[in-house]
Amino acid sequence: MTELSSAAASELTTADSSSSATASRPAPGTQAASAGSHGAAEYLEGIRQSDRTWIGKAITLVESTKPKDQAKAAELIDRLLPLGGGACRIGVTGVPGAGKSTLIDALGSMVIQQGKKVGVLAVDPSSSVSGGSILGDKTRMNSLAQNPNAFIRPSPTLGKLGGATRAAREVLLILEAAGYGVIFVETVGVGQSEAVVADMVDFFMLVLIPGAGDELQGIKRGVVELADHVVVNKAEGDNAARSKQAAAYYRNALKLLTPQTQSWQPSVSTCSALRRTGLEELWEAIEQHRHQLLESGELQSKRRGQQVRWMWSMVEDRLMTALRQDKGVASVLDWTVRQVSEGKMSPPKAAASILEKFEFKL
């Protein structure tokens, strides 16, 4: 997956024409119970056949924190790598209430009508206290939820700011290998982890609403700089004129920022996800962006860099998991945290004492 295949480089048609499996997704409890009871070859075959049940089981496997499941997940990812890399990956973020889910539903439905299969990784808000999920994104994508050529996976944030989940990259690869040629990654809203999502997709889209410059004042500059395209949603009725004014404002504002790539100047458009207008222009921008980055070789280079950063994120995740589970660390952790919180020990000294107790084993 470090290199795009020649078929993928030609445009977005690779892996989009195969028919979707009709098997229904099993209940979460069923997946959790059976995720680790199959071999990597069984998962691979089910994914290649675009079997929705096996796709769900594979996602449950890669999201598991159990060491045994993680080992099997690593083997599965190795086998899936040659099958991935051909999809158009689109990140979607924006201010709360901008209509991100509704826009994905409308745009995804239009893309399916063009003969493509659409996957959605809908990061779902969850409580930082209980970890409970709202699972509201799927209910806001009524058209895609009922379409056999779409696969929506609500993924809880577990209280993490920005909503980037630990196994999001693995889920992207699974959906690609299953033949989903267009994959959306929707985030909860504008936050620190938007940079993480931008680093796992090809095209990063910022969804705003009419109101001239008010929205940009509430958005971190770094998030705006990550955007390949800004779309002003809800451009209908009385908002139509204001949407055009807002788009002109954003267009001028983006000219002051340094583009992410040499081949693409961030663009702006308006649309109404509710009335499904302006979607063709938005999709044209996505395709044009992909075409230009493929022609320049920047998309291939971007994917290679993403692979390396994926590796390091896995290293960091595994180290943190091992550290928190280490018996030596556990024996001093509560006391050390209390010492730091009471001002009796400096954070640097506390960190050193914790690491002294840590014995990492694979």
Architecture of the domain made up of 302-357:
Orthogonal Bundle (1.10)
Amino acid 195: pLDDT: 80
**pLDDT digits 0-9 by tens, 316-325:** 888 888 898 8
CATH classification code of 84-296: 3.40.50.300
Region 39-61: what's the mean pLDDT? 93
- The chain-wide mean pLDDT, for the chain, equals 81
Strand, helix or coil at 85? coil
Query: Could you please report the per-residue DSSP string of 121-144?
Result: EEEE-B-TTT--B---TGGG-HHH
Find out whether 23 and 49 touch, Cβ atoms under 8 Å.
no
Confidence label for 214 from pLDDT (cuts 50, 70 and 90):
low
The percentage of the chain sitting over the pLDDT mark of 90, rounded to a whole number, equals 49
**pLDDT digits 0-9 by tens, 273-290:** 999 999 999 999 999 999
pLDDT at 333 > cutoff 90: yes
pLDDT at 86 > cutoff 60: yes
Structure tokens that stand for 16 in this block:
């989009």
pLDDT at 89 > cutoff 80: yes
Domain map of the chain by residue range? 84-296, 302-357
pLDDT at 68 > cutoff 70: yes
Closest CA relative to residue 41, chosen from 78, 10, 91? 78
Find out whether 119 and 183 touch, Cβ atoms under 8 Å.
yes
CA distance 175 to 154: 14
**pLDDT digits 0-9 by tens, 120-144:** 987 655 434 434 444 445 567 899 9
Residue 81 DSSP code:
G
Confidence label for 261 from pLDDT (cuts 50, 70 and 90):
confident
